[in-house]
Amino acid sequence: MLSIDTLRLFLHVSAAAIWVGGQFTIAGILPTVRGMGDDAPRQVARAFNRMAWPAYGVAVVTGLWGVLEVPLDAIPHPEIEIKLLVVVLSGLGALIHQFANGNKAMLAIGGAMSSLFGAAAIWVGVALAV
């Protein structure tokens, strides 16, 4: 129960929960946040970013660490490549969203990209673990 593997997976899943779960939570409470003032959504988004990006970093580092623990000939293909692709697209979506500068299409496309590819990363991750 107390092993480095458990610690790595614990950090990986906790970081994934913050990155993806946080995005869905923010989307869900957005109507309430909008009611708190014109600048409230921006302030909440900035505060979330301070948690989300470190969590993304932890997910990437612990994910790559997990791959390094697997013998080269036992790494599942194409699952690992698909996993990396959806993780990169989730991060890219977040960047598009973050740097939208008020552009509504970029905000919507970037936000949707980040959370949907984030959910896909969870799906592929669970498939890798079972």
Distance, in Å, from the CA atom of 17 to the CA atom of 5, rounded to the nearest integer, reads 18
Binds ligand HEM (CB under 6 A): choice among 36, 64, 95, 108: 64
Question: DSSP secondary structure string, 22-67?
Answer: HHHHHHHHHHHHHTT-TTHHHHHHHHHHHHHHHHHHHHHHHHHHHH
Binds ligand HEM (CB under 6 A): choice among 40, 66, 106, 109: 66
Structure tokens at 127: 């498939």
Distance, in Å, from the CA atom of 9 to the CA atom of 94, rounded to the nearest integer, reads 24
Q: Per rule CB under 6 A, is residue 129 in the interface with ligand HEM?
A: yes
Q: Is the CB of 111 or the CB of 118 nearer to ligand HEM?
A: 118
Q: Per rule CB under 6 A, is residue 90 in the interface with ligand HEM?
A: yes
Distance, in Å, from the CA atom of 61 to the CA atom of 58, rounded to the nearest integer, reads 5
Q: Per rule CB under 6 A, is residue 121 in the interface with ligand HEM?
A: yes
Answer whether 59's CB lies under 8 Å from 87's CB.
yes
**Window 4 to 43, contacts with ligand HEM (CB under 6 A):** 9, 12-13, 16, 19-20
CB burial of residue 126 (10 Å; 0-12, 13-18, 19+): exposed
Site string for ligand HEM, 43-62 (x = CB under 6 A): -------------x--xx--
Q: Is the CB of 106 or the CB of 119 nearer to ligand HEM?
A: 119
* Binding-site ranges for ligand HEM (CB under 6 A): 9, 12-13, 16, 19-20, 56, 59-60, 63-64, 66-67, 80, 83-84, 87, 90, 118, 121-122, 125-126, 128-129
